[in-house]
Amino acid sequence: MKKKASPFFYVFLVVFVFVVMFPFLWMLICSVKPAAELFGDKAFTPYTSHPTLENYVSVFVDHPFLRYLWNSTVVATVTTVYTVCVASFAAYAIARLDFKGKTFILGIVLSVSMFPQIATITPIFIFLKNLGLTNSYLGLIIPYTTFTLPLSIWILVTFFRKIPLDLEEAAKIDGASLMQTYWKVIMPLAVPGIFTTAILVFIAAWNEFFFALTINTDEKYKTVPIGIAMFQGQFTIPWGEIAAATVVVSVPLVIMVLIFQRRIVSGLTSGSVKE
Amino acid sequence: MKNSTLKVEIDENQVPIIKNSVTPAKKRKKLFTEKTAGYYLVAPAMILIFLIAIWPVLQSFYFSLFDLKLNNPTKSEVHLSYNLNLERYLNNYPFLIGAIDNEIKNGNGAEELQSIKEKLQSLDKKLQRNSNINAKYDSINDRLMNFEQVNPDVSITEIDRNMAKEYEKTAKIINDKIKKMSVSIKFSQEKKLTGLAAGFGDALIQPNFIGLQHYKDNLTTSRMWKAIGNTTTFTIISVLIELVLGLAIALLINKAFFGRGIIRASILIPWAIPTAVSALMWKFLYDGQNGIVAKIFADFGLVDNMEKLLVTDTGAMFSVIFSDVWKTTPYMSLLLLAGLQTIPDSLYEAAAIDGAGKWKQFMKITLPLLKSSILVALLFRTLDAFRVFDLIYVLTGGGPANSTETISILAYKVMFNQTNFGDGSALSVIVFICVAIISMIYIKFLGRDLLNDR
């Protein structure tokens, strides 16, 4: 029997959602305010009588924002595809096969996920610089492995463990061939887990800041987080444009979260809960 | 999975995977035992992890033992031994000899200069007798004569310690002598001669191995300790607040209610937005003139003046912590909620029948059963907080007056603003050691729970 929610509880929910979402709502309002209303008397009014899209136009016209979006998309997609491929083999073996040293391997994966990025940057930077890979997509995809690979192995292992072994056996007894068992039994069951992992890895790669800041300094190869952070001029900060850019970046992420929220939650909590 | 009937089964099932990942295993597939197949499947990931994470950390430690500065050509690489920059040497030696000859011809201090010249020439002969140098001496010289570029990798040549010491000694004697002479004698091209003599020693590259000097320097400077202090303050306060708030929220929403989807989405959105973007957003909200949150804080009397939020020590630290709490409390409550949902309701019902109150139920059922969830959530949050970089980099840049400078920010500044990679590596190794200590403490509490499969 679950506890029932009281009216007071719904008040709390409304407050909670409002507090959490307030910064976004405020940025949304500010993004359509004309520049003059961002400062002075009207800076604190939660509405504007002269809504304008000039901030949005300026984000795409005055800054290479489309370029940033493209860079982020390329880097995050390639990183996701290749990490999840490599990780799924390893995770499958760790979860399903019986061999010595599994706990040790999982221990290494976990410890590597705790490594501070700063402790790897010097050698990685010098290595990429010597190869001429700074300011390139590969220059980010390679170091991103340091956090995406442990993350995906960790999540995938818990997903693979949940696939019931009986199904594989049953398929075999029913006379399914190797390929049939693999594609028709294991893959369909593993797909949701792999997909969830891919979403989390994609978000992690999309949001990464430190490597992107240090390795790709050229305007042509900056990713979205760096691009937005560098909107701040030396003397003035174009808040209207920043607000618009924030909205532009947030909208796809918000849509993604709304569509995949159940998957994301199951992925985030999979490693941390013992069932 | 120790079940022997399964063994064959699994073995064959993973043939398709083997085919994709490892060498042509098609014909030998029956030979693969589960064990070897397991190693093959894990190998690519482990090799990658070793190459891109473990090896760099070891290298960071190695680099931290050197005086490594990327903007200084003589220190831009690790030099365990003495080296001679042949390009520099050949850009100096022939011209120095020429300048000396010129003065001798003009009769300025001819006798002494003659002895200097002989010294230089005998040193040059010795250098040319060195097999490493001999091979490149002429080709580099020709290139320089034709004003062509010389690759620094080629021109830097290792020489042995005795030779280096002799070179150093000669360079010093020549420089001192010529300087002394220039006081009493009027050279016809004084500037050229003294300049060349002074530059002669620069071709020698000293080994930049300095042992634990960076650590010694760092551990005795107040800036490093302040950064550690800031990091610790930030970590402890933000993680504690996040734990308490997160637990409270998780307990409150652990029930059936209408609109769970909205709550879940609003929990996930702050987590999904890039930290750099949310930091910038907060920077605007905290702004001293136009920031709405700064105004709200001032109206509620949290700060006496809204301008003070980002420009005072405590104000800035408070702002950073507040932003972090906003971004990660929902995430924390999500992890704890997942833990709460594994506690069966029947336990609470039984406790209620036995007359245990809400508080007692919380202390005796919820907390003990939630212990491992709490510890796991705390472990990941503590480490994330301790490694904090992007939030502070964007929001305050470590300021005002280094009051929010964390150890990662300090290491970044030393590396990329001062291009002092040796010192920066030492700082990053210190971060690494701190992180290792923190995780060891947690893992001790957690036991091996975290890694066991069942």
Token readout for A95 is 């979860």
pLDDT of residue B454: 41
Same-domain check for residues A26 and A119:
no
DSSP letters for B102-142: HHHHTTSSHHHHHHHHHHHHHHHHHHHHSHHHHHHHHHHHH
Whether B392 contacts B404, CB under 8 Å: yes
Kindly report the nearest CA distance between residue A18 and chain B, in angstroms.
Answer: 9
DSSP letters for B230-294: HHHHHHHHHHHHHHHHHHHHHHHH-S--TTHHHHHHHHHHHHHS-HHHHHHHHHHHT-TTT-HHH
End-of-domain residue from the set A52, A71, A98: A52
Whether B398 contacts B409, CB under 8 Å: yes
Q: Is residue A127 part of a domain?
A: yes
Same-domain check for residues A160 and A93:
yes
Residues linked to residue B157 through DSSP beta bridges, in sequence order = B84
* Structure confidence at residue A34 as a pLDDT band (50, 70, 90): confident
Residues 6+ apart with CB under 8 A from B327: B270, B271, B273, B275, B278, B391
Q: What span, in angstroms and rounded, lies between the C-alpha atoms of B62 and B211?
A: 9
pLDDT of residue A233: 67
- Whole-number average pLDDT of chain B: 83
DSSP letters for B349-367: HHHHHTT--HHHHIIIIIH
Q: Is residue A235 part of a domain?
A: yes
Q: What span, in angstroms and rounded, lies between the C-alpha atoms of A248 and A244?
A: 6
Kindly report the nearest CA distance between residue A103 and chain B, in angstroms.
Answer: 6
Q: CA angle, corner B441, sides to B439 and B444, nearest 5?
A: 105
Name, of A93-107, B72-86, B370-384, the range with top average pLDDT. Answer: B370-384
Same-domain check for residues A36 and A163:
no
Same-domain check for residues A125 and A245:
yes
Q: Which residue has the tokens 């300048």?
A: B99
Contact A168 B16 (CB under 8 A): no
Whether A246 contacts A134, CB under 8 Å: no
Q: What span, in angstroms and rounded, lies between the C-alpha atoms of B345 and B342?
A: 9
Contact B42 A229 (CB under 8 A): no
- CB-count burial class (<10 Å; 0-12, 13-18, 19+) for A272: buried
Q: How many angstroms separate the Cα of B294 from the Cα of each of A20, A234, A241, B306, B392?
A: 16, 22, 20, 5, 18
Nearest to A228 among B272, B277, B449 (CB): B277
Same-domain check for residues A74 and A200:
yes
Mean pLDDT of A39-46: 74
Is residue A100 over pLDDT 90? no
Domain boundaries, chain B: 4-63, 83-205, 215-450
Mean pLDDT of B247-260: 84
Same-domain check for residues A34 and A129:
no
In percent, the amount of chain B with pLDDT more than 90 equals 24
Contact A5 B258 (CB under 8 A): yes
- Give me the phi and psi of B158, to 5 degrees please: -75, 135
Q: Which chain B positions have a beta carbon within 8 Å of A213's beta carbon? A: 393
Q: Where are the alpha helices (DSSP H) in A32-117?
A: 54-62, 65-96, 102-114
Q: Which of B2, B4, B8, B10 to mutate to test the interface with A (most CBs of A within 10 A)?
A: B10
DSSP letter, residue A35: G
Nearest to A149 among B15, B45, B449 (CB): B45
Domain count, chain A: 2
* Structure confidence at residue B382 as a pLDDT band (50, 70, 90): very high
List the domain range (segments joined by +) for residue A186. Answer: 63-270
Give pLDDT tens digits for B304-336.
777 788 888 888 999 999 999 999 998 899 889
pLDDT of residue B318: 92
Q: In which element (H, E) is residue B205 found?
A: strand B204-205
Give pLDDT tens digits for B395-444.
998 878 889 999 999 999 999 998 888 899 999 999 999 999 998 888 88
What is the strand order of the sheet B156-158 is part of? B156-158, B83-85, B204-205
* A121: CATH: 1.10.3720.10
Q: Is residue A161 part of a domain?
A: yes
Contact A231 B280 (CB under 8 A): yes
Same-domain check for residues A69 and A41:
no
Contact B377 A272 (CB under 8 A): yes
Instruction: Tell me how crowded residue A58 is: count the other CB atoms within 10 A of its CB.
Output: 17
Q: How many angstroms separate the Cα of B255 from the Cα of each of A8, A155, B262?
A: 14, 26, 14
Partner B contacted by A273 (CB < 8 A)? yes
* Residue A82, amino acid: Y
pLDDT of residue B210: 84
Q: In which element (H, E) is residue A160 found?
A: helix A138-162
Mean pLDDT of B344-362: 87
Q: Which residue has the higher pLDDT, B252 or B132?
A: B252
Token readout for B379 is 């472990």
Same-domain check for residues A112 and A197:
yes
Whether A225 contacts A246, CB under 8 Å: no
Class of B215-450 in CATH: mainly alpha
Contact B13 A275 (CB under 8 A): no
Nearest to B49 among A21, A150, A186 (CB): A150
Contact A229 B265 (CB under 8 A): no
Chain B's closest residue to A228, CA to CA, is: B277
Nearest to B428 among A17, A118, A271 (CB): A118
Nearest to B376 among A5, A26, A272 (CB): A272
Contact A108 B265 (CB under 8 A): no
* Structure confidence at residue B4 as a pLDDT band (50, 70, 90): very low
Q: Which chain A positions have a beta carbon within 8 Å of B45's beta carbon? A: 86-87, 89-90, 149, 153
Kindly report the nearest CA distance between residue B91 and chain A, in angstroms.
Answer: 26
Helix, strand counts (H, E) of chain B: 24, 3
Q: How many angstroms separate the Cα of B29 from the Cα of each of B12, B13, B17, B441?
A: 8, 11, 11, 44
3-state secondary structure of B66: strand
Tell me the residue length of chain B. Answer: 454
Q: Which residue has the higher pLDDT, B403 or B107?
A: B403
Q: What span, in angstroms and rounded, lies between the C-alpha atoms of A174 and B9?
A: 13
CA terminus-to-terminus distance, chain B: 11
Nearest to A103 among B273, B431, B451 (CB): B451
Q: Is residue A141 part of a domain?
A: yes
Q: Is residue A28 part of a domain?
A: yes
pLDDT of residue A198: 93
Q: Is residue A3 part of a domain?
A: no
Q: Which chain B positions have a beta carbon within 8 Å of A150's beta carbon? A: 49, 53
Whether B60 contacts A146, CB under 8 Å: no
Nearest to B34 among A43, A98, A122 (CB): A98
Same-domain check for residues A87 and A216:
yes
Residues linked to residue B69 through DSSP beta bridges, in sequence order = B420
Q: How many angstroms separate the Cα of B377 from the Cα of each of A175, B329, B331?
A: 45, 11, 9
- Give me the phi and psi of A176, to 5 degrees please: -70, 140
Same-domain check for residues A173 and A239:
yes
> A139-148, A216-225, B69-78 — which is least confidently predicted?
B69-78
Same-domain check for residues A45 and A152:
no
Q: What span, in angstroms and rounded, lies between the C-alpha atoms of A61 and A34?
A: 17
Partner B contacted by A3 (CB < 8 A)? yes
Contact A112 B54 (CB under 8 A): yes
Nearest to A261 among B268, B279, B349 (CB): B268
Q: Which chain B positions have a beta carbon within 8 Å of A120's beta carbon? A: 52-53, 56-57, 60
pLDDT of residue B8: 39
pLDDT of residue B24: 47
Q: Which chain B positions have a beta carbon within 8 Å of A140's beta carbon? A: none
- Helix, strand, coil content of chain B in percent (nearest 5): 75, 5, 25
Q: Which residues between 221 and 240 in chain A have a beta carbon less than 8 angstroms from any beta carbon of chain B?
A: 224-226, 228-229, 231-232, 237, 239
DSSP letter, residue B28: T
- Give me the phi and psi of B76, to 5 degrees please: -80, -5
Q: How many CB pairs under 8 A join A and B?
A: 333
Same-domain check for residues A41 and A70:
no
Q: What span, in angstroms and rounded, lies between the C-alpha atoms of B234 and B245?
A: 16
